[in-house]
């Protein structure tokens, strides 16, 4: 029961932080007309999860609370999907492909960098 409460609390914190940081980045990059906010948040979240994973935390509750709760709520595949499709629907195919590539490759690279720094 305590693990569920921890996941709930960490998830709430991650979601609020994603919303706040995403909005700040988006407001500062509006002239780009490219979803930089969620791209940045997802890459930072992957880096953070990589760093956390590299710590090799053996406490399963802590791993669930931080990995699933916080980082699961901080990063967002659903918003990434919506923004990718919106770019396609606006016939901005090159930007959509760039966004998808940057998000996927950037997140994987960021996770790997974070993980290897601590292993």
Torsion of CA 24, 29, 34, 35, to 10 degrees: -10
CA 30 to CA 26: how far, in whole Å? 6
CA-only gyration radius of the chain, Å: 15
Rounded to 5 degrees, φ, ψ at 33 are 50, 40
45 is in an annotated binding site: no
In the block, tokens 């998830």 appear at 11
72 is in an annotated binding site: yes
Eight-class DSSP state of 6: H
Binding-site residue numbers are: 72, 75
Binding-site residue numbers for Na(+) are: 72, 75
């Amino acid at each position: 029961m305590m693990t569920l409460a921890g996941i709930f609390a960490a998830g709430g914190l991650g979601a609020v932080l994603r919303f706040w940081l995403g909005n700040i980045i988006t407001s500062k990059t509006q002239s780009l007309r490219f979803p930089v906010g969620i791209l940045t948040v997802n890459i930072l979240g992957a880096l953070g999860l990589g760093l956390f994973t590299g710590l090799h935390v053996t406490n399963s509750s802590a791993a669930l609370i931080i990995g699933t709760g916080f980082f699961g709520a901080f990063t967002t595949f659903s918003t990434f999907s919506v923004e990718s499709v919106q770019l396609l629907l606006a016939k901005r195919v090159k930007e959509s492909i760039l966004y998808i590539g940057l998000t996927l490759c950037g997140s994987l690279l960021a996770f790997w960098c974070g993980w290897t720094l601590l292993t």
